[in-house]
A and B are shown apart, each in its own frame.
Chain A
Amino acid sequence: MAAARLRLIAAVAIMAAWEALAASGLLFRDVVPSLWYIAKALAITLADPAFYRNLGVTSGEFLMAVSVGGLAGASAGLALGANRFLAAAYERWVHYLAPVPKIIFFPALLLAFGAGPGSKIAMGAISCFFPVAISVASGVRAVRPVLLNVGHGFRATTWQMATKIYLPAVREPLLNGLRLGFGVAAIGILLAETKLSKAGIGFLVMDSYRRFDMPGMYALLILVVLLVAAVNAALTRLNRN
């Protein structure tokens, strides 16, 4: 109850401060528009079919990127986690490459996949690959030896070991990796769309910026943040269950 009250007070204080700043004239007109204009822009954006068309483009790119990057990352993670030699040979490179800002690969991806959705999917897939691979590799190594012994005791086949023992055991790290991977894939795809694209939410944001439609840009940013937060919360809940 106290937490809810504090949140309400903070939200009201932030909105009041925003309105005061908008009315003060301290910043250029429209840079900090009144909340009323942002709400109006939000309603216009939600009623605009172009928003859903572009959202569809970005969502399609996300799904493809997370599928390709997640599958490749999970396979690499399984191989690295289950094989000590492979881990000693390649895991350090995966760890070194993981924090590198992946946007630097975008010029190369543009040449390889063109200016369409292909380069954005590749961008998202590369971003998603590393957190999934690292998380699954450590998850495989954390599988309790007693479970492996039970599997061997029952003379489980490789397929049975993978589906009955490894997969349930790495479910949590896999979902954790996907949650992280989703976040970085979102950043990668949206940034790539702002750089060079003819469709997608990133393109819409840049279009608003070029037209200096600041309320429209705020509305788009609010919607993107809400969408990403919702997917993140859903993945967290799935992980807990």
Chain B
Amino acid sequence: MIRLAPVFGLVTLIAAGLALQGLIAIDVVSRYVVPPPSEVLAALGRIVVEEQVPARFLLTSAETFAAGLLILTAGVPAGFWLYHSRPFRRAFEPWVAAWAAAPLVLAYPLFLVLFGRSSITIVILGVAAGTAPVILKTVEGLAATRTVLIDVGRSLRLTRGQMFRKILFPAAMPAIFTGLRLGLTFSLINIVGVEFLINLGGLGQLINELAERYDLAGTYAAIGFVLLASMLFFVCLEHIERWLRRAYG
């Protein structure tokens, strides 16, 4: 019975779409607020061709990838440094926690003034929003490494680099990945959000433009496309995490 549940879930979602189509057809739901799902599906092909969706998708992906790379290269070493320096950790971990909780995206007008209206600003905002969770989770993961493993490393006289590669990093990897997933989520929210708000760049701008043209079916199709892109992004991240876990045992 449980094995049929995913199919049941998919069927009920399709049924909900069909029910919505029916409600729109008999004017219970206004087609000027929610377009019929059939029109949204038909608009998917149109926006891919007419609105340069592949190029926009590549731009948003490139911005997210650049932000992700910067988050990883800044966040993990910063976490490693805080873990090793106890006074600094005690002093600044609460600051990093406050940074993680701050709604930095609200400062986007400030970033526009400082860095100009460009993709660089969008990437900087993505990095600013996504680095703190990676730092916090890296510290948490490293601090949770079992003492016996560290003692084994010490008894084998591992260097600092070997200790990190062979013991600390594999032990902290699940926490680092949790932090990375959180960081990338915040980063993606900021990147697509700012693209939408300042009407610049990739998929966020596409939704804004279509909404301003009151192309309802196109707007919903673009929303569907961002949903799909976001799901694919996080499914890929999950696969990379599993692969890395297998590689490091």
Q: Show the binding face of A for B, using Cβ within 8 Å.
A: 2-4, 6-7, 10, 27-28, 31, 84-90, 92-93, 96-108, 110-112, 183-184, 186-187, 190-191, 194-195, 201-202, 205-206, 208-209, 214, 217-218, 221, 224-225, 228-229, 232
Contacts and interface: CB of A to CB of B under 8 A. Distances in A.
A85 B2 contact: yes
Contacts of A186: 103
B102 A228 contact: yes
A202 B5 CA distance: 43
Contacts of A103: 189, 192-193, 196-197, 204
Given A221-B110, A228-B101, A101 B189 contact: yes
B101 A2 contact: no
A85 B5 CA distance: 6
B161 interface: no
Interface of B: 1-2, 5-6, 8-9, 12-13, 32-34, 87-88, 90-92, 95, 98, 101-103, 105-110, 113-114, 181, 184-185, 188-193, 196-197, 204, 207-208, 210-211, 216, 219-220, 222-223, 226-227, 230-231, 234-235
A88 B5 CA distance: 5
Contacts of A225: 98, 102-103
Nearest to B5: A88
Nearest to A218: B110
A6 B87 contact: yes
A31 B113 contact: yes
Given A99-B188, A101-B188, A103-B189, A89 B106 contact: no
Contacts of A218: 110
29 contacts: A6-B88, A28-B113, A31-B113, A84-B2, A85-B1, A85-B2, A85-B5, A101-B189, A101-B230, A102-B189, A104-B204, A104-B222, A107-B207, A107-B210, A107-B223, A110-B211, A183-B101, A183-B103, A187-B193, A190-B105, A191-B106, A194-B106, A206-B109, A217-B109, A217-B110, A221-B107, A221-B110, A225-B98, A232-B101
Nearest to A184: B189
A110 B104 CA distance: 24
Contacts of B92: 6-7, 10
A97 B193 contact: no
Contacts of A206: 109
Contact of A31 (B1, B95, B101, B114): B114
A225 B102 CA distance: 5
Interface centre among B9, B103, B210 (most CB of A within 10 A): B103
Contacts of A187: 103, 105-106, 189, 193
A119 B87 CA distance: 46
Contacts of A108: 34, 219-220, 223
A89 B5 contact: yes
